[in-house]
Structure formats: C-alpha cells, structure tokens
Structure 1
C-alpha cells in the first residue's frame, strides 16, 4: 500500500535531519542502505502478523550515511511480512488498525521533519 499524499514526498533534506526525525518518530534505518538509497522502517505487530511501514529516501547530493548528504524522500509504503519470503506491498488487504497506526506514525514523522527544518 502506497501513501502518496502524506506531504513530504519529494522533499529534499539533509540526511542527518531525516535520520534524526525518523528515529525520534520510532523508525529505524534499515540495514539494507547503500550510498545512494536508504529506507526507514517502522514495524507494526497486529494479531500475530508483522507489517512494515517504510519511508524510502535516495541521495541527490553526497553519500548516505554522511550527515551532509541531501536526500529526496519518496512515498511511504506499507507491506505485510511473510516468513521466509519477505514483504509484500501489493495485493494485500490491511487491517484498518494497521492503516490508522501507519497514518499516525507518518503524521508524527512529518511534524518532526518540519521541526528539524
């Protein structure tokens, strides 16, 4: 599930700002980052199922994870984890409570990013 109208998609921010805002909002920098891309994840557990709310970012100037790299934020996505295959983003029906929690976290992240600017 893609969240296209959160309000920070396409925003360009220093990596240090987005990392601080994401961590302050409960997201973690996913381990699969490279020098051009990073993903900030928030894990949601609901009735025995695991979901990931992910905020992708990519560098438009400098290398991730240097603090002065400039990143462009992309549309957040919500996916359901299936062991051992990974996370599925499309073709899923997400519980309303999971979607509401995702919106709440994204609102918090947006607010925190605005405070960082």
Structure 2
C-alpha cells in the first residue's frame, strides 16, 4: 500500500538529522542502505501477522556511507510480511484500518519533524 499526499514525499533532510528523527519514531535503518539510498522500517505485529511501514529515500548530495548526505524521501509504503518470501506491498493486500490510521499518525509526526529540521 502506498501512502499518498503525506507531505513527506520529495522532502529533503541531512542524513544525520533524518536518522535521529526516524529512530525517535521507532524506525530502524540498520543495514538497509547503500551509498545512494536509505530505507527506514517500522515493524508492527498484530496477532500472527507482521507488517512494515517503510520510508525510502535517496541521496541528492553526498554519500550515505560517509554519513554526509542530503536525502530526498519517496512515498511511504505499508507491507505485509509472508514467511519465507518477504514483504508484499501490493494493492491486493488487506491492512487493518487501525494499522493504517496508526501509520498515518506516525507519518504526520515524520512530516512535523521534517518541518522542524528545515526550519532550524
């Protein structure tokens, strides 16, 4: 599921500030990066299902590996994990409405945090 009109897509932020913001909201970047891209995931476990809210971005300046990059964000995704195949983000997936609402609230906090970074 792709979240539309969240206000974070196409926003930019320095990587170090973005890492701090995303970590404060429960996202993990871990090893999910290369020198040009980053992926932040937040895991949700509901009953026996696992879901991931994913925010991706790419460097428009600098190098992610050197921690000196400016990241431009893409549209956030919500996916469901299927063992052992991985996470599916397709339109045919069913997501609990409470989870979608929770993700929208988290993304609103990301937007607010990005505004604070840009106004600092």
**TM-score scaled by structure 1?**
0.93
CA distance in 1, matches of 2:32, 2:93: 23
1:35-46 equivalences under 5 Å are: 35-46=35-46
Question: Where in structure 1 are there 5+ consecutive unaligned residues?
Answer: none
Q: Deviations over 1:36-81 (max 9, x none)?
A: 1110111011121000000001011111143331111000000000
Deviates more, 1:79-88 or 1:64-73: 64-73
**TM-score scaled by structure 2?**
0.91
Instruction: After TM superposition, give the deviation of residue 96 of structure 1 in Å.
Output: 0.4
Say whether residues 1:4 and 2:26 are aligned partners: no
The alignment's C-alpha RMSD in Å is 1.2
Kindly indicate whether the alpha-carbon contact (under 8 Å) linking 1:56 and 1:73 is maintained by their aligned counterparts in 2: yes
User: How many residue pairs get matched?
Assistant: 117
2:59 paired residue number: 59
Say whether residues 1:89 and 2:79 are aligned partners: no
Question: Where in structure 2 are there 5+ consecutive unaligned residues?
Answer: none
